Structure 1
């Protein structure tokens, strides 16, 4: 690991690279480290930017770390930093955002950044259909794509009407989750009563967040599935990968901390028509829940960026970030030679929390928990060929 802190060290790093540099943007350790390893193991030089120096991922042997301005707090300085780096490059770099806040920033300044970087994703107008929940669910309704029952309130009177007819618990989702997470440290609010729904709406409004209100599809964590792919500029999928959750954290509205690869062709039939309709190209991470009431798969959301478990498809033979990199620099995509099955991805720290809560609730026995770890696994932070980030993750004050 090298931490770049001056223009001189940046130039030295650039001079020592022959291939176009991949620039990973953002602080989510599991997402960023997965992307860094996917690219680094494919011999791609990687620069990872974050606003904090205490970053576990900076210690990966597959990247060089660099401190940058915060993309939300100081967006203009953040873009200036990227432009400054770009002006030193010998060849156009490729940008890989790992959070929505980075996606929104680089797409807003796309015309300036494209002088120095490839952005392997659709423009802001198209991408916003995916990360703006209001636009997203309205498009699903227009295309008759199955999803949870959704309401679009304009004001408190609309919320009061919804509160009298929706089933509880229900969820309030912000139009833009990136800023909502930074304000409330959660990606949505769950309401269990009519009064709570109204109060949570007011709470979101106090920070200027518009929301949609949605039913919660019943069922356990194993009803949640995902599809990952890179869609090229013809809107065709490359390297489609599918998974199912085993456990999640936090329970109910969290991320998959333990997942397994599966093959369900029906999932691609749900996603590809939407992608073609909006003419999106780029990496996607789609979440789809099977509704036990009618056994129908219902689309929850699509992230237009690298995602938390992106190293699992690569472990199985489908290196999606590398596909995006190759397509961006004009090289032919490498078709997977062999696709491995029945491999799991584990974020141990969160899975321990999830498992212990399930054990306390008597939803999981201790013996079944131990047995669930059988089989081949890809780990979120631990890697035999890149052990140092894991060692730093054991230090309490280091960011994870």
Structure 2
């Protein structure tokens, strides 16, 4: 095997982790999966070691010890991968200990955590003159009165840290149509103890939701980038993409790259943005500092982000594509897209004609791959069982 450093992937119980595993395996990297329980995706053929470990939150110290003990047995340092925000937080919280035994590109302790937090992110967007939707923190005084004065309804209540919020409420945000709904939502969120804020809604269709995906090298330069636009998402309007396409949106580079360069960002990053349907202005919604839904769409476009992360970590040079034309490549997460389609039809936001017009037979799947079929088969069987039994 050409590459001696193992890739240790934190979290392969979701299609993002599965995509990371596949990219690394296809590039000839020895992959170790780390999960606290078995996954309904089963085991990819590219996983050489599948390890069940202590829970990253409930047994944090035990997981740190497990990872260190594992790395001590290796001749060379493994490369450590986060596939979810909570794994980024885990790595940040134990940065010094893990850095002694593992490799990963970021060497600025606490930096990723500040970018993930929707409130502290404003320090960076304001610095570079990037527009963001106006927010009011729930901890501030007179929140309801300020929303009445400064916003218009509907508005949304969003978390400062997405994953605990999603785990608690099973959605990324609450849409509030009036003062009554906002008051009720604020009480519910405050009771949970989670930090959140009210945000003005940037109005526009799903197709106005964009992402800018980039890999920044250790020299501070853009090594590869591409842009995408949403077609559908779940939950609708304020969820994660279920159907999307690669589409070149030229303005995004000039909005996003100054921040990454100015802060000496290193590694893969994704910026989510939305264009206001009335003003035409583009607003930054959030920054993801870990691998994302489109990891295999990116790979299909020649943008091998998990592999760049590996090469960057071990000190090798690389260069990827900078995609400035429309390639007509689509991506789909079929399982949740079914729920999304039903909701769009029910609310009248999309017609059957529109859905059929957007359909493409040739697309990149979140889960299925002909060269690695077992995870797709396992997930399909799980989904059927889940639907029949009503299991959570």
> What is the TM-score when the length of structure 2 is the normalising length?
0.91
Displacement after TM superposition at 1:18 (Å)? 5.5
1:181-201, Cα deviation, whole Å (9 max, x unpaired): 222222222222223223322
Partner Cα separation in structure 1 for residue 288 and residue 133 of structure 2: 17
> Partner of 2:302: helix, strand, or coil?
coil
> Which of these residues, 365, 369, 385, is aligned with residue 383 of structure 1?
369
> Partner of 2:381: helix, strand, or coil?
coil
Displacement after TM superposition at 1:256 (Å)? 0.7
> Which of these residues, 57, 64, 74, is aligned with residue 89 of structure 1?
74
> Which of these residues, 146, 155, 161, is aligned with residue 145 of structure 2?
161
Displacement after TM superposition at 1:375 (Å)? 5.1
Question: 1:76 maps to which residue?
Answer: 61
Question: 1:344 maps to which residue?
Answer: 330
Partner Cα separation in structure 2 for residue 332 and residue 379 of structure 1: 30
1:171·1:213 contact (CA, 8 Å) conserved in 2? yes
Displacement after TM superposition at 1:328 (Å)? 0.7
Whether 1:227 and 2:212 are equivalent positions in the alignment is yes
Partner Cα separation in structure 2 for residue 233 and residue 207 of structure 1: 40
Displacement after TM superposition at 1:65 (Å)? 1.8
Displacement after TM superposition at 1:138 (Å)? 3.9
Question: 1:139 maps to which residue?
Answer: 124
Partner Cα separation in structure 2 for residue 47 and residue 17 of structure 1: 17
Number of residue pairs the alignment of both structures matches = 383
> Which of these residues, 166, 177, 199, is aligned with residue 214 of structure 1?
199
Question: 2:294 maps to which residue?
Answer: 309
> Which of these residues, 35, 51, 61, is aligned with residue 45 of structure 2?
61
Structure 1 range deviating more: 363-372 or 245-254? 363-372
Counterparts in 2 of 1:4-153, with a 5 A limit?
A: 19-56=4-41, 58-63=42-47, 64-153=49-138
Counterparts in 2 of 1:140-289, with a 5 A limit?
A: 140-155=125-140, 157-165=141-149, 166-289=151-274
Partner Cα separation in structure 1 for residue 308 and residue 197 of structure 2: 34
Unaligned runs of 5+ in 1: 1-15
1:81-105, Cα deviation, whole Å (9 max, x unpaired): 2112111222111111111111011
Distance 1:122 1:214, change over 3 A: farther
Displacement after TM superposition at 1:286 (Å)? 1.1
Distance 1:259 1:383, change over 3 A: same
1:350-400, Cα deviation, whole Å (9 max, x unpaired): 112212222333443435434433253110001111110011012236899
Partner Cα separation in structure 2 for residue 335 and residue 99 of structure 1: 24
Distance 1:152 1:122, change over 3 A: farther
Question: 1:356 maps to which residue?
Answer: 342
> What is the TM-score when the length of structure 1 is the normalising length?
0.89
